[in-house]
Structure 1
Amino acid sequence: MKPLQSIVRIGSIVLLVWIGFGATYAQQLAATDKNTRTLRGYVREAQTGSALPGVTVSIASLGIGTTTDVNGYYSLALPGRPFVKIAFSFIGYKTESMATDITSNVDLNVEMQAQHTTLKEVVVKSHSGTSSKVSESVQMSSVSVPIQQIKEIPSLLGEKDIIKTLQLMPGVQKGAEGSTGMYVRGGGPDQNLVLLDDAPIYNTSHLFGFFSLFNGDAIQSVNLTKGGFAAHHGGRLSSIIEMDMKDGDQHKVHGEGGIGLISSRFTLDGPLKKGKSSFLVSGRRTYADLVLSPFVAEMKNNTGYFYDLNLKASFDVTPDDYVSISAYTGNDQFKYKTNSKLSNESGSLNWGNTAATLRWKHRFSPGLSLTTSAVYSQYHSLARMNRDVVNEEEKTTYHLNNQSDIRDLIFKSDVTWVLSAQHVIKTGLTGTSHLFTPASTTTVGNQHETVTGNAVQLKGLEGAVYVEDTYSPIPALKINAGLRVSGFQGETKTYVQPEPRLAIAYTMPYNWAIKASYASMSQYVHLLTNSGIGLPTDLWIPASDHTAPQFSQQVAFGIAKDMRSGLSFTAEGFYKIMDNMVAYKEGSSSLSFGTANAGNWENQITQGKGWSYGAEFLLQKKTGRFTGWAGYTLSWTQQQFDELNFGKKFWARYDRRHDVSLVGIYHLNKNVTLSASYVYGTGQAMTLPKGQYWIQGNSSVKTLGETKNYYTGRVFQEFGQRNNFRAAAYQRLDVGVQFHKAKNGHERTWEISLYNATNHQNPFFYYFDATDVSTVAGKKNMVNSLKQVTLFPVLPSVSYNFKF
């Protein structure tokens, strides 16, 4: 029996044993331990019936608490009492307090009323484990971003963006100017696992990375984990980004939408069967191609657009069974055509994601629940280019075809067992069937032709089983210990890797806490990137006989403090080692594979190591008319590859010594909201030539006339150390104001914002240009100088949003 198949089969048996044993033991526990009772139920929004995840459920007199899961469900094991006061609290909602007897197991469902005051939702909150207070949670290196806060922060062209909001968090570096690329604690963009209702999304960008594909109107919650991973997390080295789509209103139809400068969106939700089921439909599309094409001739040859669509249906089948079906599809299309004396070029790019999730949650007993998901995910990209180049008096046509397709079929099942007030056990398994279809082909011919490429199909089976226990031997001490065993079975070789996890939190007087964590992670997919910003020419490939999986180990230590004023403070230090990172060899890229090497990327790449370490600080204000946060990151990131930079260590491109983010939102009154954000970051490291040699050509091109010698010469460049140059520091100030008006159940919001309000000239890329600096008439003196290209000056935007 193959090793990975053994893991999956053994894991299945373990899971079934856990379920059966858990159900039996839970019944025995209730019979033998007469002093232990279970309080459980669902928390929903009173106006819509939608589940409320992240609600704090606390019993102050016993020092016990928990938070609701993604379905609004909570469960607490506690000693039996004749009279217990329970509090349900959530930012933006009125706190619900009630008393009940816990002399037996109790089902308690709660509906929370929205709090219509000038006090808005928490801007950024860190909560996980059993408390919303950072000082009481065993989880560290995790932040949760309320969707309302994302909608209030000023953004590029008014497009509210979940990923760009996460870029403002400590420990998260942005990629190029305006892009949605994320580099978390020294990891590359491929080391972030992005999940939408348990479905992995491989490319998160629209419009070449300027916007992400997640429509905030359709998203219920966002959580980023960048370290201290629990055992149920896995599959990537650097971060897990979990997003869950909203449930529709079970009682009334609602609509929400907006009209911006480049796109419009609309969301509709309501009941399928009142009180039992709901639906949600949300769509977004750009319209520059539709509006400008009839009037601008160039738009017919140079145009593009993107769209995305979210769908979800939720069903409360029984009091113990919840079923949801969700789907996402989105696509980008772009085509262009250029003309010049030397070359004519035309091309098209198409990329997009499709995902669907069927999720079922069942409660076997008050302390035992099972969540099972079946997931389909597909990513496709296709880039084609034809270029006619004039050389001498001949015309040569070059053709490029670049393709990267992925299809995943996933089954995952997780068991949560509230054994007692001291033990919460989780166990589960996941299995993924991968199908990769990468190809990059270049050909030369004198006629335009469609290049299909020499695509190859690569199959892989990835699986994992895990078990973890959150143990609290005393109220002040919480320990989360777990083990995840993952594996990957490729065409001929199988990899198996144990991944131990440990997190410890000790709460001290005055709401101080000390935390520490260790996590080992494995990753069985690689991204071969030419640009680092997620363009469609990047290729995803699996681990193989010659390309080993990536591994990492990370340790972190930190402190946390909650203050009565509503402020909270966290400080963390981390150290991470990464093995088997992938990079192209010198002079190689996906564009250099050629016909003979189509699909043979293993000869083009090399593997190496990475190190990242540093400290992160976050001060955040959670309540009041003014909310916001200040974050600072001090970090170092290095890499080493035997076949790059003469085998010496070098600074990673996304190494940034200092990174600062300041965000503030002020509710002037119920009708006006002011917001601003400021970011500063050390410039990226990049490789520039130390010198250039200009060799004059002897060929002639008649069509160029007198300027032929300048075009037919060749420039050779000499490079020194890799990433030997630092770009100028990046800084940007964004400001915005929102005007709200609510009447008769309808609400409209006008927003005016300025992106890069100070018009700071941030570098997008650099290039060398020859300039004649001669002071003698008739004699040229050509000098090369380094020049900077800035992408975005100050950009104003206006958008209109509505709700009903």
Structure 2
Amino acid sequence: MFPVIIILFLCPVTSFAQTRHTISGYIRDSLNGETLIGATVSVKGQSKGISSNQYGFFSITLEDGNYSLICTYIGYRERLVELKLDRDQHINFLVVPKSYQFEEVVVSSKKRDANVKNAQMGKFTLPMEQIKSVPAFLGEVDLLKTVQFLPGVRNAGEGSAGIYVRGGGPDQNLILLDDAPVYNTGHLFGFFSIFNADAIKNVSLIKGGMPAQYGGRLSSVLDVSMKEGNNQKLQVDAGLGVIASRLSIQGPIKKNKSSFIISARRTYIDAIMKPFVKKTSQFHGSGYYFYDLNAKVNYIFSEKDRLYLSGYFGRDVFDFENSKQSLKINIPWGNATGTLRWNHVYNQKLFGNTTLVYNDYNFTFNAAQNIFELKLASGIRDISLKQDFDLYPYTGHILKFGGIYTYHKFTPSVVSGKQDSTIFKPNNAQIKYGHEAAVYLQDDWEVNEKLKVNAGIRYSWFQQIGPYKIYTTDDNGNRTDSTVFGSGKGVKNYGGLEPRLTIRYALNDETSLKASVTRNLQYIHLVSNAG
């Protein structure tokens, strides 16, 4: 099927006698230099158009002639550029934000229009200005709470930051922060999400018809992009809420070339409660708090090369003390992510992005009573390398292809202890290692004004590797034998093809019919321990 599609769009290239030229560039906010995701560049008076990718890049190929290009984006003023196209051209659009009042109207109108025209099913794009307009809980703007208002999405229960999307479980959602998977999305035992609104630029939720570039989960994709930082002037934002305060600093390192953003948030529940707990109380010293730190820096080397470095670090810390029983409990847990990305424009039709991701989640339980100490730890650590390409062969086709490799390290539970001078370190760590990889190809093909097809194929593979030991037991559970796998040796393999197909047929300017069929494979699952 897919070779046929490729042949179909390659063959007409030789049949056109008229010369074609390509217009490419970036779409940015004129006030702070932020690239705009999903902005539209269209030809006035024609149905031809293109949307900017995740990094604000666009490319459109047209025949020789005079054109009026219109750049539009939710909440921004329309930008019109007149040009004579007789050669390849590079154009950067700088668009101006509208006032908040006008933005409300545009959001509603554009959203319906995009849903009718695009082949993608069940996709919602939420700019942070729209999320911030939703009433905040205890003064904290919560991204995941806002997403739960969307159709087909509900929360995973009171006091939980997880979401159920169209019947899928919380572990079946692929949640990304600047391309880094996030395994734990909640603070305060699930009442708040880890996403600091001051550091977030854009949020996209895909509920159905998952494109081929995404995989590893069955239900949905929540793709969160951090701000790049104001490259025009220094900007400081601060907020004081009922339970938390936050501070964000962003500005240019070199104007129009490099910028940074640092955003921090911390609760002061422990500080608020401290005066109400007397020093003579047996619970003096108990408390809870969480904090987040987002940071990002980028540098534009040229119109063809740009480098991004972003990171997130967050922790919840729960302390409990009972002086009468000489009991102390300390429970820290949280995520740490790091993303290094290099954008390169190979030519006006080919855009590439190379991504290196580090992701670490840890949970630790520490308890001490008199001379006895106990520690329980678990976690997940990933290192990923990903290469993505966007190819714009000519108007009507957008090809996306690439691959990803991830090295996993799972630590389900490690128990250790100490009593006086005696240290207990039983050999109970069931650390598991794994390789996960995938390659994909996708074509977003506008056949004509009424028919649009998004067809893709993905092949994914997962392998558990050693060191690992499998025990053979008898009917009574006693170990009788074992099989040992050395470091790097394959234990078990999984894999398969994941076809993706979405079709849109437009009945008129306001109505379209859509259908999709996808196959997804998920290799990592959440297993709950009830006791």
Please confirm whether the aligned pair reaches a TM-score higher than 0.5, indicating the same fold. Answer: yes
Contact 1:331 1:350 in 2 (8 A): yes
Aligned to 2:215: 234
Aligned to 1:90: 73
Aligned to 1:184: 165
Aligned to 1:519: 518
Written as runs of structure 1 = structure 2, the 5 A alignment for 1:69-468 is 69-81=53-65, 83-116=66-99, 118-121=101-104, 133-293=114-274, 296-297=277-278, 300-337=284-321, 346-385=328-367, 401-439=375-413, 454-468=428-442
Aligned to 2:475: none
Aligned to 1:479: 453
For residues 135 and 341 of structure 2, the distance between their equivalents in structure 1, rounded to whole angstroms, comes to 35
- CA 1:122 to 1:262, structure 2 compared with 1: closer, same or farther past 3 Å? farther
In the TM superposition, what is the alpha-carbon distance from 1:42 to its structure 2 partner? Answer: 1.1
In the TM superposition, what is the alpha-carbon distance from 1:470 to its structure 2 partner? Answer: 1.2
For residues 33 and 387 of structure 1, the distance between their equivalents in structure 2, rounded to whole angstroms, comes to 84
- CA 1:31 to 1:385, structure 2 compared with 1: closer, same or farther past 3 Å? farther
For residues 310 and 89 of structure 1, the distance between their equivalents in structure 2, rounded to whole angstroms, comes to 29
SS at match of 2:171: helix
Contact 2:44 2:67 in 1 (8 A): no
In the TM superposition, what is the alpha-carbon distance from 1:154 to its structure 2 partner? Answer: 1.2
In the TM superposition, what is the alpha-carbon distance from 1:37 to its structure 2 partner? Answer: 2.1
In the TM superposition, what is the alpha-carbon distance from 1:275 to its structure 2 partner? Answer: 1.3
- CA 1:113 to 1:450, structure 2 compared with 1: closer, same or farther past 3 Å? farther
Within the candidate set 34, 38, 42, 2:22 is matched to 38
- CA 1:462 to 1:126, structure 2 compared with 1: closer, same or farther past 3 Å? farther
- CA 1:117 to 1:151, structure 2 compared with 1: closer, same or farther past 3 Å? closer
Structure 1, 449-458 or 478-487: larger mean CA deviation = 449-458
Written as runs of structure 1 = structure 2, the 5 A alignment for 1:398-797 is 401-439=375-413, 454-491=428-465, 492-530=491-529, 589=530, 591=531
In the TM superposition, what is the alpha-carbon distance from 1:296 to its structure 2 partner? Answer: 2.5
Aligned pair count reads 494
For residues 421 and 321 of structure 2, the distance between their equivalents in structure 1, rounded to whole angstroms, comes to 14
- CA 1:220 to 1:451, structure 2 compared with 1: closer, same or farther past 3 Å? farther
SS at match of 2:138: helix
Looking at CA atoms only, which structure, 1 or 2, has the larger radius of gyration? 1
Task: Give a deviation string over 1:639-678, Cα, whole Å, max 9, x none.
Answer: xxxxxxxxxxxxxxxxxxxxxxxxxxxxxxxxxxxxxxxx
Question: What amino acid is the match of 1:268?
Answer: I
Q: CA RMSD in A?
A: 3.0
Question: What amino acid is the match of 1:418?
Answer: Y
- CA 1:126 to 1:217, structure 2 compared with 1: closer, same or farther past 3 Å? farther
- CA 1:33 to 1:210, structure 2 compared with 1: closer, same or farther past 3 Å? farther
Aligned to 1:789: none
For residues 484 and 122 of structure 1, the distance between their equivalents in structure 2, rounded to whole angstroms, comes to 39
- CA 1:122 to 1:289, structure 2 compared with 1: closer, same or farther past 3 Å? farther
For residues 369 and 134 of structure 1, the distance between their equivalents in structure 2, rounded to whole angstroms, comes to 25
- CA 1:529 to 1:42, structure 2 compared with 1: closer, same or farther past 3 Å? same
Task: Give a deviation string over 1:327-365, Cα, whole Å, max 9, x none.
Answer: 11111110124599xx99653211011111111111111
Contact 1:414 1:429 in 2 (8 A): yes
Within the candidate set 38, 41, 44, 1:54 is matched to 38
Task: Give a deviation string over 1:93-143, Cα, whole Å, max 9, x none.
Answer: 211112111222221111111223522357977989xx9621100101111
Structure 1, 87-96 or 485-494: larger mean CA deviation = 87-96
Contact 2:330 2:365 in 1 (8 A): yes
In the TM superposition, what is the alpha-carbon distance from 1:185 to its structure 2 partner? Answer: 1.3
SS at match of 1:120: helix
Structure 1, 270-279 or 87-96: larger mean CA deviation = 87-96
- CA 1:248 to 1:240, structure 2 compared with 1: closer, same or farther past 3 Å? same
For residues 383 and 126 of structure 1, the distance between their equivalents in structure 2, rounded to whole angstroms, comes to 50
- CA 1:110 to 1:292, structure 2 compared with 1: closer, same or farther past 3 Å? same
Question: What amino acid is the match of 1:329?
Answer: F
For residues 430 and 291 of structure 1, the distance between their equivalents in structure 2, rounded to whole angstroms, comes to 46
Unpaired runs of 5+ residues, structure 2, are 1-5, 466-490
SS at match of 1:234: coil
SS at match of 1:521: coil
In the TM superposition, what is the alpha-carbon distance from 1:400 to its structure 2 partner? Answer: 6.7
Task: Give a deviation string over 1:63-110, Cα, whole Å, max 9, x none.
Answer: 1112222322111122332x2111111222211112111222221111
For residues 320 and 459 of structure 1, the distance between their equivalents in structure 2, rounded to whole angstroms, comes to 38
For residues 456 and 140 of structure 1, the distance between their equivalents in structure 2, rounded to whole angstroms, comes to 41
For residues 422 and 187 of structure 2, the distance between their equivalents in structure 1, rounded to whole angstroms, comes to 28
Task: Give a deviation string over 1:213-264, Cα, whole Å, max 9, x none.
Answer: 1001111100011110111110111111101111111121111120001110
- CA 1:122 to 1:277, structure 2 compared with 1: closer, same or farther past 3 Å? farther
SS at match of 1:148: helix
| TM-score scaled by length of structure 2 | 0.86
In the TM superposition, what is the alpha-carbon distance from 1:292 to its structure 2 partner? Answer: 3.9
SS at match of 1:511: coil
Contact 1:429 1:466 in 2 (8 A): yes
SS at match of 2:271: helix
For residues 369 and 237 of structure 1, the distance between their equivalents in structure 2, rounded to whole angstroms, comes to 28
Contact 2:284 2:321 in 1 (8 A): no
In the TM superposition, what is the alpha-carbon distance from 1:302 to its structure 2 partner? Answer: 2.0
- CA 1:125 to 1:218, structure 2 compared with 1: closer, same or farther past 3 Å? farther
- CA 1:227 to 1:123, structure 2 compared with 1: closer, same or farther past 3 Å? farther
In the TM superposition, what is the alpha-carbon distance from 1:271 to its structure 2 partner? Answer: 0.7
For residues 72 and 121 of structure 1, the distance between their equivalents in structure 2, rounded to whole angstroms, comes to 23
Contact 2:284 2:322 in 1 (8 A): no
SS at match of 2:249: strand
For residues 212 and 326 of structure 1, the distance between their equivalents in structure 2, rounded to whole angstroms, comes to 19
SS at match of 1:509: coil
Aligned to 2:473: none
For residues 270 and 372 of structure 1, the distance between their equivalents in structure 2, rounded to whole angstroms, comes to 25
In the TM superposition, what is the alpha-carbon distance from 1:476 to its structure 2 partner? Answer: 1.2
In the TM superposition, what is the alpha-carbon distance from 1:33 to its structure 2 partner? Answer: 6.0
